[in-house]
Structure 1
């Protein structure tokens, strides 16, 4: 049961990661970092896969066996070892001056909620990429500064102007209802809506909006993933 809960929670975080990066301006990580990212992604995919299914994703024979045995303690130990290896690879290449390693580390910290690592990240290489018109760098910095409203909005708008669809979509909601009343602006919300439509196309934009709303009734309902996690935990009691 514990493994099932862990996998469901991981799935929610992965769905957020996929959702936030789809339609983005393509950012190319260095070959070494991309290989490390792909390997870690395969680990996550294997955890979400049914080991008994014929098309299950295999990360390693050792993990396959642990999953078949449903050995929660050893599975978690294995995952932690692989996570440390991944982070060690990123930090190694950060020290060698690879800015894509810094991007991958911030991406990991944000999407997997590894807040204890946040203070250890040197964001200066990412800020340089942001100043070089890198929309994804600007978007990650906005997420990094989500508890600093001034910097958050600064980098989110920067990402939007640089062509990031997820930033543009987010700004629509920010100016419509998320920001404090005095900062909300129908005019700015419409501006970013048109930017997002221009980036994505009207059909895909509406499809994205429908992920956060009941389109059959026309009623808007913001998705609260914390409730999904709470529901999963309650089911385990």
Structure 2
């Protein structure tokens, strides 16, 4: 194991064991290096890596702290991995989204309040045939974000939010090049919401699967033909 990797593992063990808790300040660099039996250079590299992973927060002039370790914070690093992938790799992100989003929708069908359903229906009604592409995209993103949030699972919500970037590009491409795509998307959103409002998680899951798979299938054919 590389020295820096070993240093990362040592700090991780301290967090897992409870020796360091969310919000705790790390001991001084020299003291922590001695405590862990590491060189200050390797410890410094480990702290830098863990700060990029949002596990540690380095505050200039104040010290280094353990972050809140909330899932949405730690999963932020995933967004970078997602954003730097292009071409046919985007299909793999769609596959993951197709596995996750229907479950989020089914959970939302059991957990969304009537008020949330009403607000989401009003949100969908804000766009129409004369809406700009920007408005349609923003409406689409917000629709899926609210449902993921209503699932009540912060990890699932964060994963879906991080997948929204590359999959959204594919959805925009389809909307601009396939006739009737935006209308179809809106109708599927309505069907998903109707199933949620009727408290039918299996029906909601089915519509969500059709919704995501439709874009995935179109994109797969488009990439293969290009």
Q: What is the TM-score of this pair, normalised by structure 1?
A: 0.24
Return the structure number with greater relative CO, CA threshold 8 A, min gap 6: 2
Higher alpha-carbon Rg: 2
**TM-score calculated relative to the size of structure 2:** 0.25
